[in-house]
Structure 1
Amino acid sequence: MRVRATITMKGPQASQIAQKVALALAPDNLSGMSTEIAEGMATISFGTEKITTLIATVDDLLMNARIAEEVLEKVGKRPQ
């Protein structure tokens, strides 16, 4: 059985923040993962054969997204 997940990042400054976070995470994308950036949001989609792999991937992505957002805040690149 194949399981799929989609993570969408959006918010008040989503077009700027979500795009930067998604692009920061993109180098870690595995085959079968895709990142789409549209106005106001960024979407990462992926699938796997094992639910445990999917859960671990979601956990890693969310943790890395949080870290990328914190870095943006610290370097002053986050829109006001």
Structure 2
Amino acid sequence: MPSRASGRATYRRWSRRRRTPPLVVLADARTCTEPGRPLTVVDLYDTPGQSTVLPCREVGSMACNLEISNMDFHEFVAVEAVEP
């Protein structure tokens, strides 16, 4: 079993490699007035500046999947006429 010290060292190496957070989440007037509390999410990593609007309940899943590189930002971008 690895020691706690080796775990901390691994985390430090990983965190130094991390360039920027993968996204920014913005709340606006629409977030406070519309059902589902839609949030605007802006990509900072794959295609910087690309944005999409997601229901509040989906943003946590998106952040986790981007963080572990399970999915890419473009997979969350809404397709026209399709409900998220």
**TM-score scaled by structure 2?**
0.30
Larger radius of gyration: 2
Between Structure 1 and Structure 2, the one with more helix by share is: 1
**Structure with higher RCO (Cα < 8 A, 6+ apart):** 1
Between Structure 1 and Structure 2, the one with more strand by share is: 1
